[in-house]
Structure 1
Amino acid sequence: MDTSRPSLAGAPPALRAGLGLWGALGVFLIVRATIAWTEFGSLRDRLIDVRGVPEVQAGSMVRSLLLVNTAVAVALTAGYVVLALLVLRGRSWARVALTVLAAGHVLFVLAFGTWTPTNLIVLLLAVLAWACFWRRSTSEWLSGDRD
């Protein structure tokens, strides 16, 4: 067996579960960003009605917000998926990078987000995926102890 390129079949269950959870988190972020675009009109209307923002300016503000939200979702998804796959390939440094990325994401949600159901799902998926990637079986597998 070629140990320089580990396969999913030889990975411990915790690592496989973690890969699935990181992937699920990425999909959730993209779906959430996509759904936000469907609320464009209601977001614009709220700015106009509640804040008194002119209609043209409100549309521009909402578009900018949604573009940033989408870009962040895509960047986080790419980071989670690429780093998780690098862990699968035996790159232990990627696990540390993934931890830093997830910690930054979680801290951002806690500091600037609200306790919405979607943010709680993000937190739950990130914590569970992180826990799977730092299980003893995953650490042993990454250090080369592969049965």
Structure 2
Amino acid sequence: MTETTTPPPTALRGAVGVWLATAVFGVFTVGYLWIRPDAVREVLRPGGSVAEVLGPLTVAALLFGGAYAVFAPLLLRGRRWARVALTVTAFLHLLWVMLPGVSVAGFITVLMIGIAAVLTWRRSTAHWLKEQ
């Protein structure tokens, strides 16, 4: 007797896509800043260096992006704990993005995280994860 599993719901597949898009967006945003250091110099304090600003941003983008890239596929495979891991990562990411101030990239990141979180915690996703 073969066991058939139901495919993941559309909301969950969408959530995984948005989590991964958030990871890519963060890395590309930092990459753009490395390519355009003049944009960073405009907002530096006197005596500050571009590397001092972009170093922590790069580490954060790689850590958050890496976490999304690891946890999102695990969620798609039915690992319930990955939903909590994504939520905790998203909360920390929101703090990281919101504390320095408002920016267009920050707004887009917050929007993407919000969409992904809502899709991750939809009833259809929760029901599917219980079946796994």
CA distance in 1, matches of 2:111, 2:42: 32
Match of 2:131, SS state, is coil
Q: Give structure 1 regions of 4+ aligned residues with deviation exceeding 4 angstroms.
A: 44-47
Aligned to 1:87: 75
* Structure 2 counterpart of 1:121, from 86, 98, 108: 108
CA distance in 2, matches of 1:109, 1:43: 16
From the superposition, tell whether residues 44 and 144 of structure 1 become closer, same or farther in structure 2 (CA, over 3 Å): same
Matched AA of 1:136: R
From the superposition, tell whether residues 92 and 41 of structure 1 become closer, same or farther in structure 2 (CA, over 3 Å): same
CA distance in 1, matches of 2:84, 2:30: 27
Aligned to 2:27: 30
CA-CA distance at 1:46 after TM superposition: 6.3
Matched AA of 1:103: F
CA distance in 2, matches of 1:46, 1:103: 26
| Match status 1:106 vs 2:103 | no
Aligned to 1:20: 17
Matched AA of 2:114: V
From the superposition, tell whether residues 68 and 143 of structure 1 become closer, same or farther in structure 2 (CA, over 3 Å): same
CA distance in 2, matches of 1:128, 1:140: 19
The aligned length equals 131
RMSD over aligned Cα, in angstroms? Answer: 2.2
Matched AA of 2:9: P
CA distance in 1, matches of 2:112, 2:127: 23
CA distance in 1, matches of 2:38, 2:100: 22
Is there any run of 5+ residues in structure 1 with no aligned partner, and where?
none
From the superposition, tell whether residues 137 and 34 of structure 1 become closer, same or farther in structure 2 (CA, over 3 Å): same
Per the normalisation by structure 1, the TM-score is: 0.79
CA distance in 2, matches of 1:107, 1:44: 24
Aligned to 1:135: 122
